[in-house]
Homo-oligomer: A and B are copies of this chain.
Amino acid sequence: MALKFDAALGTSVVVFAFDGQHLRSLVGAKSLEPYKGAPMLPTNWVKANDSVEDVAKRMMNRVLGMDQIYLEQLNAFARVYRNPMGRVVNIAYYALLNWDEVKDIKLQEGYRWVNYNDEPEMIFDHNEIYEMAKERLKRRVKRRPIGFVLLPQRFTFNNIHSLYEACLGKELDKRNFRKKFMRSELLIDTEETVFEAPGNKKPSRLYEFNQQKYEKLTLKGYDFKF
């Protein structure tokens, strides 16, 4: 069979962050024809002599101005006709960011934050890539504590409850969830409180993660039954 160097490489990154109540994701706009201006995931071509992960990291740096982002390979999207220009394999990554670190960043032109379930219709198979990242996040949240990355250092129980509801895409009975989560011994009660919304009569307690316990669970994984 003839060896053909006639495919192109691209990389997209699905970025998730949690603003305390809602998961958010980054969407860009296509800068060139075809489909100029159309919504798309942050995406870049990868030259034959360039590392896919480096390209993804440099792109994140350009879009967000952050040079330290943990990326994980999501999947290779390689359907023959996914891109009208020819055979383009998209090696996609996903990233979890802390909202406190990104909320004030001036995004590169064309980029915006969208709510987790309000993603627009995007070009090519980018909605499919996005869906797979959501599935990955859902599985991840059941298997490993991911709060350290997605939550601020101190957070209320409502924050963590909202985070799990958002990741799992379903309502979780608050009392049950609290009981199960407390049993994990992951949370440290800081004994401080905060008023979560103006007008609230009762303040909410602030928690931190128990780092040791957390790392142990991150390492060996757990199984949260909700």
Contact with B along A43-66 (1 / 0, CB 8 A): 011011111100000000000000
What interface size band does chain A fall in? Answer: 20 to 34
Q: Could you give, for residues 65-103 of chain A, a 1 whenever the CB lies within 8 Å of some chain B CB and a 0 otherwise?
A: 000000001011011100001110101000000000000
In the bound complex, residues from chain B placing their C-beta under 8 Å from that of A45 are 1, 3-4
Interface of A, secondary structure class, is loop
A109 at the interface (CB under 8 A from B): no
The answer to whether B89 and A9 have CB atoms under 8 Å apart is yes
- Cβ A3 vs Cβ B7 within 8 A: no
Q: Which residues of chain B have C-beta atoms less than 8 A from A7's C-beta?
A: 5, 7-9, 48, 89
A79 to B91, CA, bound (A): 12
Indicate if A221 sits at the interface (CB-CB under 8 A).
yes
Say yes or no: A87-B48 contact (C-beta < 8 A), given A3-B8, A4-B8: yes
* Interface of A toward B, CB cutoff 8 Å: 1, 3-9, 44-45, 47-52, 73, 75-76, 78-80, 85-87, 89, 91, 221-223
